[in-house]
Amino acid sequence: MNTDIVVVGCGVAGLSAALSATRKGAKVVLLERSDKKNRGGNSRYTEAYFRMPNETEVSEDFEERLALNSMGTIDPELLKLTHQPYDEWPPILKSYGFIDPELIFGFSEAVPDTIAWLKELGIKFLEASPFLTQTTKRIAPSGGGEALVEGIAEAAEKAGVEFHYETTARSLILNDKGDVTGVRAWSHSKGCVDIHAKAVVLASGGFQGNQEMMFKYVGPNSHLTRPVAPGGLYDKGEGIEMAINIGAAPAGQFDAFHAETIDPRSGKPEATVFIFGYGILVNKNGERFMDEGANLSDVIYEDVGREILKQPGGVAYLIHDSKIKDIPNYEKGLHTDRSPIQGKSIEDLAVKLEIDPVKLGKTIREYNAAVQEGSFDPFRLDGKCTQGIDIPKSNWALNIDETNLFATPIICATCFTFGGLKVTPKAEVLNLDGYVIPGLYAGGEVVGFYYGSYVGSTSVLKGLVFGRKAGENSVDYCSKIETG
């Protein structure tokens, strides 16, 4: 099979690349592991929040937060070189694993045009947030990620993109110079097939659906987490591996992932629990293990998830009483479809949670005794705290009624993994020597971009922006090799 461009993956990054390339005149083949009904991977199931106060500008902290999450301490002599024009950077700097200022600025600048592009496709936006407390406003497409996937996919179908479902790319095809000239793919119906192309765009997601890669990079506790939605099961990491196998430079923190706190009893995608600040979290030993009120929920929910993953069995229980129902719209931070476990006494609840009632009783009573007087305000850092216990609670500390208890189990879920490939501002994949791999582009979760913690409500935007860049620039590359 021959084509101009092969796109691997049918999430928002791959679809954006395919549609952009086709509109610039390229013949595009798109490969997707799932069937048509489930197309879209992670993108299909997300609410797709964007870190934007409105449709024309990103949040004030957008670039700053991305820069802060771009690596650890960087050699100051290397950092000085980033003040030069990108084309003048030495190769060793271009392949370095930090997230270039050029990438951050290019990402930020491209967002408004990307939103306008989506609106031309009929996508509508509204102000939205999954949090009761937040540091910045967000918008989201009406209909969430599914609306994005179907809207862009339908436009791509009309434009002539050739979709191949239940087909997985396995390796890259190279010519004698090392240029990428296609992919070897596999499908159940056809077996192995070589697709020859002038360029390839990798947009097949992270590796949260691959237990071997999760153990290899995230570590021994990785089996205690699970993808936050069914789409994550399709993300097996081949796009990252096949590029690294030909010498691509890595970027992003390979042992980390975007974590969310979910109710493990629910099969609902993103059954998130973000009201942990209004109760206490205990592990299977009946012990508190962190400050539940350390900050606003949209700031610390990843930290909460990662701490839960460290607990016995990777599970914790949010315990509170009926006073939570007095918080206006508290359900906004509770997306599970399962009811909390109720207890008429500590002993009753402990039996239902299979926790030692003596230990749970000690934890709740010591916490209650440490709660200080003060004004409770659920929508800001109110300073209503505890004193005199080893693990403090800094805000929203309310006494828990021992006769009116509720508990919700919480585990740490994996939204997407952080490790991926280093790219240029044009979404070209770089090799370990700091040079562009001719014919290879990447977008979405395949691009390694985050370290430490996730900058909320930026990942879907990143997929859209770098998907478009990959599609448009791959067409320009095809034109260059055609003209010699």
For 346, phi then psi, to 5°, come to -60, -45
Nearest to 246 by CA among 168, 167, 173, 185: 173
CB atoms within 10 A of CB 67: 15
DSSP secondary-structure letter at 208?
Answer: T
Which residues in the chain are classed under CATH 3.50.50.60?
5-256+418-483
| Three-state secondary-structure class, residue 440 | strand
pLDDT in tens, the chain (484 residues): 899 999 999 999 999 999 999 999 999 999 999 999 999 999 999 989 999 999 999 999 999 999 988 887 888 888 899 999 999 999 999 999 999 999 999 999 999 999 999 999 999 999 887 777 677 889 999 999 999 999 999 999 999 999 999 999 999 999 999 999 999 999 999 999 999 999 999 999 999 999 999 999 999 899 999 999 999 999 999 999 999 999 999 999 999 999 999 999 999 999 999 999 999 999 999 999 999 999 999 899 999 999 999 999 999 999 999 999 999 989 989 999 999 999 999 999 999 999 999 999 999 999 999 999 999 999 999 999 999 999 999 999 999 999 999 999 999 999 999 999 999 999 999 999 999 999 999 999 999 999 998 998 999 999 999 999 999 999 999 998 877 6
The CATH architecture assigned to 5-256+418-483 reads: 3-Layer(bba) Sandwich (3.50)
Task: Determine the pLDDT at residue 484.
Answer: 63
**Do strands 280-282 and 315-321 pair parallel, antiparallel, or not at all (unpaired)?**
antiparallel
pTM of the model: 0.94
Which residues in the chain are classed under CATH 3.90.700.10?
259-413
Task: Determine the pLDDT at residue 137.
Answer: 87
Assigned fold of 259-413 = Flavocytochrome C3; Chain A, domain 1 (3.90.700)
Rg of the Cα atoms in the chain: 24
Task: Determine the pLDDT at residue 163.
Answer: 98
